[in-house]
Amino acid sequence: MARLTIDRAQLDDTAVVVHIDGDLDAFRVADFRQAMAADRAASRLILELGAVFFDSAGLNALVTTIRQVREHGGEAAIACAHPTTSGLLKTTGFDRIVTLTSTVEEARCALGDTGRRRIEVTAA
């Protein structure tokens, strides 16, 4: 039986990583959209893709999620080390609409987060 797993991790006050694995297809796209509802307003959203099978409904759901994050003033990136999945994303042109990296750390850097907190000091 086909499956879809979605795990969410809050990296800090503004960054969320959502790990997606399995089948993101017409049968499971509603589950994906429901799981992503809370993260549409994230300042920085990283979608970490494992071995994911997509159909057109699944790809549309990814595009919609990225668009909604941007409409709320946020940024999104996709981290994908799986060669078949990243190849599909490149073939379909995803790398032209969103940052596509191999790791979550690379995605964090691409979104302007080095993992270090900045401290501003003002003169008195």
Across all residues in the chain, what is the average pLDDT? 87
Is 121 inside any structural domain?
no
Q: Is residue 117 part of a domain?
A: no
Residue 124 has pLDDT above 50, yes or no: no
3-state DSSP assignment of residue 13:
coil
Three-state secondary structure call for residue 110: helix
Domain for residue 65, yes or no? yes
Domain that residue 21 falls in: 4-110
Cite the DSSP H helix spans in 53-120: 56-71, 83-91, 94-97, 104-110
Does residue 19 sit within a domain? yes
Predicted local distance difference test score (pLDDT) of residue 101? 96
For residue 26, the one-letter residue type is: A
What single-letter DSSP state applies at residue 39? G
Residue 122 within a domain: no
* CATH code, domain with 29: 3.30.750.24
Q: Considering its fold, how many domains does the chain have in total?
A: 1
Q: How many angstroms separate the CA atoms of 57 and 11, rounded?
A: 28
How far apart CA 4 and CA 28 sit, in angstroms, is 7
Per the domain annotation, does 93 fall within a domain?
yes
- pLDDT, tens only, 63-97: 999 999 999 999 999 999 999 999 999 999 989 99
Residue 120 counted as domain residue: no
* Alpha carbon distances (Å) from 54 to 30, 57, 72, 86, 122: 14, 8, 26, 11, 50
- pTM of the prediction? 0.85
Dist. CA 76–CA 60, nearest whole Å = 15
| 83 in a structural domain | yes
Sign of the C-alpha dihedral, residues 103, 58, 52, 15? positive
